[in-house]
Structure 1
Amino acid sequence: MLNVRQKSGVAGTNQGETDQQFSMRKVFSNWRKSEKGSMTAFGIFIVAIMVTSAGLSIDFMRQERTRVQMQQNLDTAVLSAASLLQTLGAEAVVTDYMSKANIDVDYNLSVNVSEGINFRAVDATATATLETLFLGLLNIDSLGITVTSGAEERIPNLEISLVLDVSGSMGSNSRLTNLKTAATQFVSTIISGGSGGTVAMSIIPFSSSVTPSQSVIDAITMEDNHDYSTCIEFADDDFSSSSLDLDSTYKRAVFTSRYSDTGSGDFDDADDFNQDWRSCYMDEYFELLAYSDDETVLYNKIQGLLAQGSTAGHTGMKWGTSLLDPEFQAVTNSMIAAGVVDAAHAGMPVAYSDTNTMKIIVFMSDGNNHTQRRFGSDYRGDNSVVWKAEGGTGVWVEGSFDRIYHRYSSWSSSNTGYEYACSWSNYYCTYTEGFYADPDPYYFEKNGNYYGVATETWYNSMTGMTFENLSWEEAWGLMSIEYYESVMGSGAATDWGSTSARTGSQSDTLMSANCTAAKDRGITIFTIAFEAPSNAETQLNNCATSDNHYYDAQGTSITSVFSSIATTIQKLKLTL
């Protein structure tokens, strides 16, 4: 039985389908049945994909554009905020920059600031949500944006040893005058013209020796065999290290002078020691100045320098490196306690591993290292030939020849040349009465006889007196070598100036070793040969950190040399 279902509309349509829908379905059906229709459907699909992709790209491009805008403005903001010259609060600076950037989305901003006396670090993060236009087709209604930026400005601290030759030759050709001008401008550039950071500058004048202050000596272990001076006589091995060994006992240098100012000189009168030939200079203007950032103090130190003595550059360099070595911290504390160094410099010198501090030596000399005069064991230690009177009735003086007489005539004579005949049977002699002479404060002993320094008289007996035998170190502080030899004869001068002395060549070797030790520790060394001979130029060039750290100066050009070094130091600070 054939059942026929009645439908409204055009024959062949589906139930409920309108004529228009039927027509469209028929068209698509025909397209499916033909190759042309299949290609058209594929084309529509491709077009749809392309349109969708373009829409997605637009949203992602909008996201990237906004991200770049936020990143650029945040970078600029944190750079400005991190500047140590910035007087406004870092967070306020970042916020202000971002608010004026015309960013077309709402954002959240967080800023973290870390800062100290010589650094400021700023980190910032900005987040935003961008509503999409086309990604909603994929149920993505928004895209997140996060940008971060950080900036830090850190000005390194400076520890500087300014090691300056003040030997006698610096008094020639206006060298010392030109040096004072140059060094003063250097201090001004480093202290006042710098770009932040703390500065601790030490000034180490050197000639025949270097004179540390008593507060330095109080903090180290040193021989206690005299108190005339504070100079140290370093051993050769000491120059292989950049530091002082505070566990060692250092040898205190003898205090004397080769010559006196007045003839052979006076005993117990150090003021009569010839200045140019002293073994150690205890005048205040020769003392090293440690750790100062006070321009006036540094200026006054430089302006007070005088030119005297010979050249011992190795000793100057040794003190220059020691004042930058962290082992010196205990000495710094001693100087702070003595009121010599400001408490702000506690903890200096800092550790070599402190990347926030630059350690620099600026070394200037106008000449070769000279023979460094010193005594050997024959003139050091206990049991000198000098005795100090401590008490008694005085030195007993035997009666002396008065007159010789002939027993059988009236002939007599006071001529001591006839004393030999006193024992002859035909002659007899008279003598003055013995007595106790007023004691001299000091006596020299030679072959059983004693020379009184006040009476300038030799005695053959010390009966009636008590004495203290001085050590050689105590005795030398009371007399020049010239005076000693006028009483005792020659020998001491040869030992001091030749036999036991350190030659200039040996001093060069020791200075080179100390320069190497300092450079191995990361200390930057600038050297200046100021109208110096060729050997000195070679030594200073080898000591410098590099050829670019060595300078040759003539006349007033030393000012531009110091200026160039100061500029280089400032540039190094910015790249540390």
Structure 2
Amino acid sequence: MNMPFGCRAAVTRNILNRTKRGCGAFAKAEDGAMTILALFLFLAMVGAAGIGVDLMRYEQKRAALQYTLDRAVLAAADLDQTVPPETVVRSYLEKAGLLEYLSSVVVDEGLGFRKVSATATAVLPTHFMKLSGYDSLTIPAASTAEESIGNVEISLVLDVSGSMNSSSRLTYLKTAAKEFVGHMLSATEDGAVSISVIPYASQVNAGPDLFQFYNVSTEHDYSHCVNFIDDEFSQPGLSRTTPLERTMHFDPFTYSKDPIQTPVCPIRANTAILPFTADQTVLNNYIDGMTARGNTSIDIGAKWGIIMLDPGTQSVIDGLITQKKVDVSFSGRPSAYDSGDVLKVLIVMSDGENTDQYMLNPSMRTGESNVWYNASEDAISGSPDTNTTDAFSIYHDNGGHNYYWPDQDKWADHPYGNGTSPVCGYDSGGLYSCTEKDEPGTAVRLTYAELLNKVSLAYNAYYNYEFTSSAWADWYTSAFTKKEAEAKDQRTKHVCDAAKDEGVIVYTVGFEAPANGRRVLKDCASSDSHYYDATGLEISDAFTSIASSIRKLRLTQ
């Protein structure tokens, strides 16, 4: 239908007016809806923040309660703790203002172990979560700690070199070592802990009981030490079949005789290795009887220490058990390195540093010497020898009278005791005369091993061979070789590394030791924290700390 232009314009204006009024009404309606939505979102955000505050308060309270409970049961489980375990737990929570939340304390203990469990429950009133129906939150806490020694094999390697006589060091060491033994054995079941004591100085006296099980050379049986080759220090064990060179029994340190005072392989009481025992009385008596003399060989001490932990030594210990020299409870030890239920510990203590090691030259290891000995004439021993009788006679090609008698400073054609000698004097009438008479006793030619068991190298050179200007060079300087201290430092490193590679825990103690000794001991230890530097009475603190470390606490839950 055709509509005049004016009418069409009026209709258009009417439609536009209606549309504007409809949009305005719609806009007003939407303003209300947006306000409600915004309010809802705001309330949701406030609620979420409030829940977060409640949860944060919950976590803070839970952490404080759990931390205090953990510390409480750890302290209560300590075997050295004399206060009743429950009292300890309650004390910790009371000091933290948390005692009201303690629910229970359970103690399980016996010989060598203590286990303490505790639970606590706190109730935290909520501020915001109550709007959702949660008026409070329950906070549980539980903790269990156990201290137990378990099965432990310990090699206690102790320095008994001559320097230990200074500044009462040996006295302090004895006290510390006995306290350590007491800490380890006083609360353990039989067979749980074994301790081997390895004293060392210039050498380690393995003792005849251990030597019988190894393939050691037989030049003599005066002492029981081994000259290890370098390769032996790169492995923890010691073969029972590989040939081992016995250390010759000789004294390069003094002018002594019959007996020699300081043989490189000690034979003094309580120098032989004490293997695998848990008898506190035996250990204490052994430690009390230790004396100090000689040089320092940390490498050899550590080597024998790891041998006594190596499972390859098991057949040796079983043999000693058969001979009733080791308790049957240690059958099957040393345990395998990967057994899991046995902790192996090597403790090496020294007040010094490695010094040169003396080894007799091969030419003097076997065979007969040119020295003859008359026992009946050996009236005096010691240093220096003031004997005026003829205990020794020395053969030397002298063009006829080939036997030198040092006690009379004369030459003869036979050893004193195997012929006749003039006996001169005045008779009752004042007439001086001499008569040939049989010499007392019998002279016997000595092997080198027998000679050096009787006289030190210096004595032999200075007294027996005093007739020759080359005596000192021939019979002292040329009589031995030395393993230098620097090489022994490397051997110490190698044997300690071999122990650590097998999972052995190595503790070391430098007892007033010089700088190089401390360096070697630190490098030997399992870590810096396994090395202890001690002065004077601090040696006891060091050994007590080691004992506490071995008897470590374990948080199990």
Q: Same fold (TM over 0.5)?
A: yes
Aligned position for 1:301: 286
Match of 2:220 among 199, 220, 226: 226
Match of 1:345 among 301, 325, 330: 330
Aligned residue runs from structure 1 range 51-62, under 5 A: none
- Give RMSD over aligned pairs: 3.4
Work out the CA distance in 2 between the residues paired with 1:372 and 1:306: 20
Aligned position for 2:341: 356
Aligned position for 2:312: 327
Aligned position for 1:562: 543
Residue by residue, what CA displacement relative to the aligned partner does 1:334-380 show, whole Å, maximum 9, x if unpaired?
Answer: 32233321122122111112111111011110111111122222332
Q: Once the 2 structures are TM-superposed, how far is the Cα of residue 505 of structure 1 from its aligned partner?
A: 1.0
Match of 1:520 among 487, 501, 521: 501
Q: How many residues are treated as equivalent by the alignment?
A: 373
Work out the CA distance in 1 between the residues paired with 2:225 and 2:554: 34
Amino acid at match of 1:363: V
Q: Once the 2 structures are TM-superposed, how far is the Cα of residue 177 of structure 1 from its aligned partner?
A: 1.6
Work out the CA distance in 1 between the residues paired with 2:413 and 2:284: 58
User: Does the CA-based 8 Å contact 2:297-2:354 persist in structure 1?
Assistant: yes
Q: Once the 2 structures are TM-superposed, how far is the Cα of residue 531 of structure 1 from its aligned partner?
A: 0.8
User: Does the CA-based 8 Å contact 1:332-1:341 persist in structure 2?
Assistant: yes
Work out the CA distance in 2 between the residues paired with 1:214 and 1:351: 25
Q: Closer, same or farther in 2 for the Cα pair 1:533/1:155, shift >3 Å?
A: closer
Aligned residue runs from structure 1 range 434-445, under 5 A: 443-445=393-395
Q: Closer, same or farther in 2 for the Cα pair 1:574/1:375, shift >3 Å?
A: farther
Q: Closer, same or farther in 2 for the Cα pair 1:239/1:573, shift >3 Å?
A: farther
User: Does the CA-based 8 Å contact 1:380-1:471 persist in structure 2?
Assistant: no
Residue by residue, what CA displacement relative to the aligned partner does 1:112-147 show, whole Å, maximum 9, x if unpaired?
Answer: xxxxx999xxxxxxxxxxxxxxxxxxxxxxxxxxxx
Work out whether 1:257 is the aligned partner of 2:210.
Answer: no
Work out whether 1:493 is the aligned partner of 2:487.
Answer: no
Residue by residue, what CA displacement relative to the aligned partner does 1:436-486 show, whole Å, maximum 9, x if unpaired?
Answer: xxx977643223522357776533457989997654233311211122102
Work out whether 1:280 is the aligned partner of 2:283.
Answer: no
Q: Secondary structure at the match of 1:249?
A: coil
How high is the TM-score relative to the length of structure 2?
0.61
Identity %: 36
Q: Once the 2 structures are TM-superposed, how far is the Cα of residue 490 of structure 1 from its aligned partner?
A: 1.2
User: Does the CA-based 8 Å contact 1:211-1:282 persist in structure 2?
Assistant: yes
Work out the CA distance in 2 between the residues paired with 1:174 and 1:369: 21
Amino acid at match of 2:210: V
Q: Closer, same or farther in 2 for the Cα pair 1:303/1:388, shift >3 Å?
A: closer
Aligned position for 1:124: none
Amino acid at match of 1:538: R
User: Does the CA-based 8 Å contact 1:158-1:197 persist in structure 2?
Assistant: no
User: Does the CA-based 8 Å contact 2:372-2:415 persist in structure 1?
Assistant: no
Q: Closer, same or farther in 2 for the Cα pair 1:358/1:495, shift >3 Å?
A: farther
Work out the CA distance in 1 between the residues paired with 2:353 and 2:273: 21
Amino acid at match of 2:477: T
Work out whether 1:171 is the aligned partner of 2:156.
Answer: no
Unaligned runs of 5+ in 1: 1-82, 86-116, 120-151, 391-438
Work out the CA distance in 2 between the residues paired with 1:291 and 1:282: 20
Q: Closer, same or farther in 2 for the Cα pair 1:389/1:519, shift >3 Å?
A: same
Aligned residue runs from structure 1 range 205-216, under 5 A: 205-216=199-210
Aligned position for 2:358: 373
Q: Secondary structure at the match of 2:454?
A: coil
Amino acid at match of 2:231: D
Work out the CA distance in 1 between the residues paired with 2:160 and 2:215: 27
Q: Once the 2 structures are TM-superposed, how far is the Cα of residue 192 of structure 1 from its aligned partner?
A: 1.1
Work out the CA distance in 2 between the residues paired with 1:282 and 1:219: 19
Q: Closer, same or farther in 2 for the Cα pair 1:283/1:220, shift >3 Å?
A: same
Aligned residue runs from structure 1 range 104-503, under 5 A: 156-193=150-187, 198-258=192-252, 260=254, 265-266=256-257, 269-270=258-259, 273-274=260-261, 277-387=262-372, 443-447=393-397, 449-452=402-405, 457-460=410-413, 470-486=446-462, 487-488=464-465, 489-491=471-473, 492-496=475-479, 500-503=481-484
Q: Secondary structure at the match of 1:202?
A: strand
Aligned residue runs from structure 1 range 503-542, under 5 A: 503-542=484-523
Residue by residue, what CA displacement relative to the aligned partner does 1:533-564 show, whole Å, maximum 9, x if unpaired?
Answer: 11111100000011111111111111111111
Aligned position for 2:84: none
Amino acid at match of 2:244: Y
Q: Closer, same or farther in 2 for the Cα pair 1:180/1:384, shift >3 Å?
A: same
User: Does the CA-based 8 Å contact 2:302-2:492 persist in structure 1?
Assistant: yes
Aligned position for 1:35: none
Work out the CA distance in 1 between the residues paired with 2:515 and 2:159: 17
User: Does the CA-based 8 Å contact 1:210-1:315 persist in structure 2?
Assistant: yes
Residue by residue, what CA displacement relative to the aligned partner does 1:488-512 show, whole Å, maximum 9, x if unpaired?
Answer: 311232235xx61111111111111
Residue by residue, what CA displacement relative to the aligned partner does 1:272-310 show, whole Å, maximum 9, x if unpaired?
Answer: x23xx4212112221221111111111111122222111
User: Does the CA-based 8 Å contact 2:207-2:223 persist in structure 1?
Assistant: no
User: Does the CA-based 8 Å contact 2:354-2:485 persist in structure 1?
Assistant: yes
Q: Once the 2 structures are TM-superposed, how far is the Cα of residue 388 of structure 1 from its aligned partner?
A: 6.5
Computing the radius of gyration over CA atoms, which structure comes out larger, 1 or 2? 1
User: Does the CA-based 8 Å contact 1:366-1:529 persist in structure 2?
Assistant: yes
How high is the TM-score relative to the length of structure 1?
0.59
